[in-house]
Amino acid sequence: MRLSDATLHRLPAGIARPRYDRAAVTPGIVHLGLGAFHRAHQAVMTEAVLNAGARDWGIVAASLRSPDTRDALAPQDGLYTVATREDDSESLQVIGALRGLHVAPENPGALLDAMCDPRTRIVSLTVTEKGYCHDPATGTLDEAHPDIRHDLSAQGAPRSAPGFLVEALHRRRTAGTPSFTVLCCDNLPANGATVRRVAIRLAELRNRDLGAWIAGEVAFPCTMVDRIVPATTEEDRVRIAAMLGLEDAWPVVGERFAQWVIEDRFPTGRPDWTLGGATFAADVAPFEHMKLRMLNGAHSALAYLGYLAGHETVAEAANDPVFARYLGDLWAEIAPCVPAPPGVVLQGYAASLLARFRNRALRHRTWQIAMDGSQKLPQRLLGTARERLAQGRPIPHIALAIAAWIRFVGGVDEAGRPIEVRDPLAAPLRSALDAAGPDPARRVAAALRFPAIFGEDLPRDAGFAAAVTQALRRLMDSGARAAVDGAARPG
């Protein structure tokens, strides 16, 4: 029997479920990007608001690509389970906040109608870094991106997230409906400002006035989002169904820790997400900076080095003493480039990250985090490298992570087996590296020739190329685990 409104009453007593009348909830938020992260983060915090009695903040969620999540959740009336796992404890909550499900490519018009509904006051997004069709090194719209070119020629049926935002804003403007607030929940630097820049540019390419109207009328608050939510596995699905006594086709699994820091700029209202544990701040930048550089930077480092060393999950890598020591040194390298947010001690933050990474109840695959490195490295590792080099400081641990990425996107692991590289730049990176041949200096030079990743400055910085080349040579000569071990004792 399947989880649904009709079967909710069958859940065992210990399992949390909606404490409100779902039928009475009206849509207030349209969310683009129906992935596990949204369902374990913003939707859970919104559920707390609905549980506290608010009725006008239901979520209408859309997937911009595949119908899979809609197909799994529609027969469940949008209900799904969030499993919170910490070592040997697990608790379940069934979430009712999703009140509508769309698949954009099937029916872009229906999604645009939802975005134009005057009751929709917020459009939030988790479409991953590459979903913004921007140049990661500069944060500007990639005007040559095929989806952007498509969206400029087929405005009524967009494909990209910026295309949907701009078309919906255009329609609201024409109809005299006040704008919604755009709430980016992806791990981009200054995420609100970045999406604003991208949306305004796309609008200007259509019509200058629309660009100016968006610049003047639409709020794009910045956010820092944090919760570790690995892809759900079949094993999770089976275990959770047994605990529910009902089938849930697509539950999500995450750690207990969750943080959401939101810039409080919502001219047409917002839910009181503090009820779910969020905080509102005048300036999100220090939180975002710390999280992107320390958590995500270390995550990417562990992803490439861990994968190459044969660690399948983050927990395996972080529980390996050689890797734990490397992480400590990496954080010590990053921390001087991270101004501590009010009330935070960076050493304590690093210690809490290590504990979170070591959570063995989560099977967060290094391969999963390794995806889309070309879109992630700039904000996670390269900004810190730039700042340290400008201060004349060495970057051995960051350089090792970047070298591991180069090794990874080369597509062959240490045992000569192929690596499945998922990245929008996978093919050009692979051919550049193949053409460069085996010499580490040539391979590094070939990788640095991607300005969308490294900008114009890093390739010209001899110290940067030298550090990455030295690290890559070490990786190629002695393998990832020995290189990680060696990085802890340079020389």
CB of 54 to ligand CS2, least distance (A): 25
User: Between 213 and 323, whose beta carbon lies closer to ligand CS2?
Assistant: 323
Cβ(78)–Cβ(98) under 8 Å? yes
User: Between 260 and 454, whose beta carbon lies closer to ligand CS2?
Assistant: 260
Q: Is 430 exposed, middle or buried (0-12, 13-18, 19+ CB in 10 A)?
A: middle
User: Between 145 and 376, whose beta carbon lies closer to ligand CS2?
Assistant: 376
Task: Tell me the one-letter amino acid at 437.
Answer: G
| Separation CA 208–CA 186 (nearest Å) | 27
Torsional class of 371: left (φ above 0), alpha (ψ -120 to 50), beta (otherwise)? beta
Q: Is 451 exposed, middle or buried (0-12, 13-18, 19+ CB in 10 A)?
A: middle
Two tokens at 25?
Answer: 């909830």
Cβ(447)–Cβ(426) under 8 Å? no
User: Between 111 and 295, whose beta carbon lies closer to ligand CS2?
Assistant: 295
User: Between 59 and 295, whose beta carbon lies closer to ligand CS2?
Assistant: 295
CB of 318 to ligand CS2, least distance (A): 13
Q: Is 362 exposed, middle or buried (0-12, 13-18, 19+ CB in 10 A)?
A: buried
Of all residues in this chain, which one has the CB nearest to ligand CS2 in the complex?
A: 299
CB of 5 to ligand CS2, least distance (A): 31
C-alpha torsion sign, points 72, 75, 79, 83: negative
DSSP state of 154: -
The backbone torsions φ and ψ at residue 238, rounded to the nearest 5 degrees and listed phi first, read -70, -45
CB of 225 to ligand CS2, least distance (A): 6
Binding site for ligand CS2 (CB under 6 A): 187, 226-228, 296, 299, 368-369, 376
CA 115 from chain centre, in angstroms, equals 22
CB of 299 to ligand CS2, least distance (A): 4
Q: How does 256-292 read in b/e, with b if 16+ C-beta sit within 10 Å?
A: ebbebbbbeebeeebbebebbebebbeebbbbbbbbb
Antiparallel, parallel or unpaired: β 89-95 and 80-86: antiparallel
CB of 346 to ligand CS2, least distance (A): 17
CB of 115 to ligand CS2, least distance (A): 25
CB of 286 to ligand CS2, least distance (A): 16
CB of 16 to ligand CS2, least distance (A): 22
User: Between 43 and 218, whose beta carbon lies closer to ligand CS2?
Assistant: 43
DSSP state of 56: S
CB of 345 to ligand CS2, least distance (A): 20
Q: Tokens 């810039």 belong to which residue?
A: 263
End-to-end CA distance of the chain: give it in Å, rounded: 62
CB of 380 to ligand CS2, least distance (A): 8
User: Between 363 and 474, whose beta carbon lies closer to ligand CS2?
Assistant: 363
Cβ(476)–Cβ(410) under 8 Å? no
Cβ(281)–Cβ(343) under 8 Å? no
User: Between 29 and 292, whose beta carbon lies closer to ligand CS2?
Assistant: 292
User: Between 369 and 472, whose beta carbon lies closer to ligand CS2?
Assistant: 369
User: Between 40 and 203, whose beta carbon lies closer to ligand CS2?
Assistant: 40
User: Between 243 and 453, whose beta carbon lies closer to ligand CS2?
Assistant: 453
